[in-house]
Amino acid sequence: MALPSATLAPDAAATAALVALDDVSMVFRTNKGLFRSGQVTAVGDVSLHIARGETLALVGESGSGKTTVGRISIRLLEPTGGRVWFDGQDISHMPEERLGWLRKRAAIVFQDPFSSLNPYMTVSELIAEPLVIAGVRRRAEREERVRAALTAVDLTPAARFMHAYPTAMSGGQRQRVGIARALIREPEFIVADEPVSMVDASSRVEILNVLRGLQRERGVAFLYITHDIASARHFADRIAVMHLGAIVESGTARQVIDHPIHPYTRALIAAVPEPDPANRFRRRAAERWQDEPGAAIHLECPHGGSPTAETFLLQVPGEAGHLVACHVAAPLAR
Ligand SMILES: Nc1ncnc2c1ncn2[C@@H]1O[C@H](COP(=O)(O)OP(=O)(O)OP(=O)(O)O)[C@@H](O)[C@H]1O
Ligand SMILES: [Mg+2]
């Protein structure tokens, strides 16, 4: 698919956003041995924004940097480059002791409901812990709020679960405890990191319905992290596709799924079982990409740029908000 001439995306939406990342990078230092050290660039120059009440899905394969972006967006990690904004405040390097307000307004549901919940704490203690940390002293108030959070995630009757231990619960129930814990301070923004990847199939729909209820009834904004682009279509307003630490395509769910441009996006869509023969061309693109990952992306770059050159996001002409990576965007935009 050819891309006509293009312009760099306007960032007006980013300035009005609840959460905005601007050219964020994350380089991890690693220890390879006693005298050797190395570094891993997990995220390179990622920009994204999320409006109040909006859900952005961050989609990509394992190791593409999704969790790292999610943790940076609520400053559980400090980025090594770029800026992070929350409701107009630059939180990129704000010290933890000045982030108390953010800990109330933003929360995370962790990827793994098995390792993220302390097995020695009861459900009630786990969910109430953020309140204890925030200094809510009245036990009766904490219990009341725990009960309300359990009801919000459909763990009812709440009294049955409050004194249970997570080890006695199914994966789906544990993940609901994780969601209740994230909800307890009534945040405006939740990073939901693969919230259904480690739960049984029968619980997945129910958990996604709980999250959708929070979107609709409380207007919570979400960064929904997933490797499953099909679930993103149903849950998200917009989708950003990550590959090797960079966003290669973003737009509304309809733009990205119905009119994918980047070969990596097409590959992800093709990986979803697709009975419709009209989508066969996507599968062919995926097969080529899988044969020769880097080269295929290079070959399909509409302007034939070098895969080693810096990558820019271009706006697809006539498709406001639909951005796609192109290696030679900068010279064309000038
Ligand atoms: N603390 C760390 N130290 C060193 N490298 C890290 C650290 N955290 C993440 N990485 C590396 O950064 C890259 C991105 O990791 P990340 O967990 O963000 O990916 P992901 O897209 O969430 O993957 P998954 O789908 O498996 O959860 C990986 O190569 C990972 O090994
Ligand atoms: Mg992850």
pLDDT digits (tens, 9 = 90+) for 257-298: 998 888 888 888 887 765 555 554 444 444 443 433 333 334
Q: Compute the distance from residue 99 Cα to the ligand 1 centre, in Å.
A: 24
Burial class (CB in 10 A: 0-12, 13-18, 19+), 275: exposed
**CA dist., res. 212 & res. 88, Å (int):** 26
Nearest residue to 264 via CA among 277, 278, 245: 245
Count of CA atoms in the C-beta half-sphere (13 A) of 246: 16
**What is the DSSP code string of 115-138?**
TSS-TTS-HHHHHHHHHHHTT---
Long-range contacts (CB closer than 8 Å, 24 or more residues apart) made by 26-33: 26/65, 26/68, 26/72, 26/77, 26/79, 26/80, 26/81, 27/80, 27/81
List all residues whose CB is within 6 A of at least one atom of ligand 1: 28, 30, 40, 42, 60, 62-68, 111, 227
Strand 81-86 to 89-90 pairing: antiparallel
Low-confidence ranges of the chain (pLDDT < 50): 1-10, 280-300, 306-310, 328-334
Contacts of 197 (CB under 8 A, 6+ apart): 111, 226, 227, 228
Which helix (DSSP H) or strand (DSSP E) does residue 166 occupy? none
> What atom in ligand 1 is closest to the CA of residue 26?
12
Contacts of 276 (CB under 8 A, 6+ apart): none
Q: Relative to the alpha carbon of 26, which ligand is closest? A: 1
Q: Relative to the alpha carbon of 69, which ligand is closest? A: 1
Ligand 1 pocket test, pick from 25, 26, 28 with the greatest ligand atom count within 8 Å of Cβ, gives: 28
Task: Look at ligand 1, atom 31, and give the residue with the nearest C-alpha.
Answer: 63
Residue given tokens 């295929």 in the structure block: 296
What domains can you pick out in the chain, each with its CATH number? 7-96+189-333 (3.40.50.300)
> What atom in ligand 1 is closest to the CA of residue 68?
18
At residue 219, the pLDDT reads 92
At residue 198, the pLDDT reads 80
> What atom in ligand 1 is closest to the CA of residue 70?
18
Q: Compute the distance from residue 179 Cα to the ligand 1 centre, in Å.
A: 22
Residue given tokens 């099909």 in the structure block: 230
Contact (Cβ atoms closer than 8 angstroms) between residue 57 and residue 253: yes
Task: Look at ligand 1, atom 11, and give the residue with the nearest C-alpha.
Answer: 42
Q: Is 192 left (phi over 0), alpha (psi -120 to 50) or beta?
A: beta
At residue 202, the pLDDT reads 83
**CA dist., res. 218 & res. 201, Å (int):** 26
